[in-house]
Amino acid sequence: MSDTVCVYCSSSDDIDDQHFAVAETMGRALAEGRHRLVYGGGQVGLMGRLAEAVHEQGGSVVGVIPEALRDKEGVAYEVADEMVVTGTMQERKAEMYSRADAFVALPGGFGTLEEFMEVLTLKQLGYHRKPLVLVNTGGFYDALIRFFEQLYEEGFARRRHGGLYYLANDPSDAMAYLDEYEAPQAA
Ligand code: AMP
């Protein structure tokens, strides 16, 4: 059971509607499961839709945003239950990392990939044993998984580390995984 779930997702508004529908379902599912959302604090793209959906379902939203983004008009989700303002992007990631019991990535761009890769690398190195989930809306992450396969085949990563994250078909699959997750024993 994960009390606080960190969700990484796209800040873009120029993406297919299916992704907004999934962000909304994810937000509702988090609130229904009584999980607090911690996320990048934006009202843009999937981030905004996700946070609104958590609130619509009576859940709690914690945003973590760097000063520079907070000061840009129309970026921050002003009605978050708590908004943590950090000096830098690096501090923002560290704050989200320390507050979260689990990490979920919906489809996203460079920012989302970077955030997810960091928590995956930290788990690979044994810094944490928290659950990690990629939500593979419409096969969005298939190409990334194929690239991971290349990494294993060419010896750049260990195949067993592919078990450090879960590839979910949709938010309900992701939530079921989080609810049943048992942390692996320390090596
Ligand atoms: P991207 O996938 O490149 O759209 O980046 C989204 C991720 O990076 C989110 O999970 C946020 O933590 C962070 N991020 C990028 N852009 C913004 C923004 N405009 N407002 C808040 N967070 C952002």
Ligand 1 atom 20: the closest Cα is on which residue?
Answer: 42
Does the residue 20 lie in any domain? yes
Does the residue 166 lie in any domain? yes
Name the pLDDT band for 115 (thresholds 50, 70, 90): very high
Q: Over pLDDT 70: what percentage of the chain?
A: 98
Does the residue 186 lie in any domain? no
User: Cα Rg for the chain, rounded, in angstroms?
Assistant: 16
Question: At 151, which amino acid appears?
Answer: L
Cα gap 12→125, rounded to integer Å: 31
Does the residue 185 lie in any domain? no
3-state SS track over the chain: CCCEEEEECCCCCCCCHHHHHHHHHHHHHHHHCCCEEEECCECCHHHHHHHHHHHHCCCCEEEEEEHHHHCCCCCECCCCCEEEEECCHHHHHHHHHHHCCEEEECCCCHHHHHHHHHHHHHHHCCCCCCCEEEECHHHCCHHHHHHHHHHHHCCCCCHHHHHHCEEECCHHHHHHHHHHCCCCCCC
Q: Contact, 136 vs 106, CB < 8 A? A: no
Please report the pLDDT score of residue 187 as a whole number: 57
Name the pLDDT band for 41 (thresholds 50, 70, 90): very high
Does the residue 108 lie in any domain? yes
Give the pLDDT mean for 4-27: 98
Relative to the CA of 96, which ligand 1 atom is closest?
12
Does the residue 66 lie in any domain? yes
Does the residue 187 lie in any domain? no
- What total number of domains does the chain contain? 1
**8 C-beta closer than 6 A to ligand 1:** yes
**111 C-beta closer than 6 A to ligand 1:** yes
Please report the pLDDT score of residue 125 as a whole number: 96
Cα gap 73→36, rounded to integer Å: 26
Exposed/middle/buried for residue 100 (C-beta within 10 Å: 0-12, 13-18, 19+): buried
Ligand 1 atom 22: the closest Cα is on which residue?
Answer: 40
Please report the pLDDT score of residue 2 as a whole number: 67
Q: Contact, 50 vs 37, CB < 8 A? A: yes
* Residues linked to residue 151 through DSSP beta bridges, in sequence order: none
Q: The CATH number of the domain where 10 resides is what? A: 3.40.50.450
Ligand 1 atom 8: the closest Cα is on which residue?
Answer: 111
| pLDDT tens-place string over residues 51-101 | 999 999 999 999 999 999 999 988 999 999 999 999 999 999 999 999 999
The residue range of the domain holding 126 is 4-180
Mutate to test the pocket of ligand 1, among 19, 112, 135, 140 (most ligand atoms within 8 A of CB): 112
Name the pLDDT band for 183 (thresholds 50, 70, 90): confident
Does the residue 165 lie in any domain? yes
Model confidence at 185: pLDDT above 90: no
Please report the pLDDT score of residue 54 as a whole number: 98
Q: Contact, 106 vs 19, CB < 8 A? A: yes
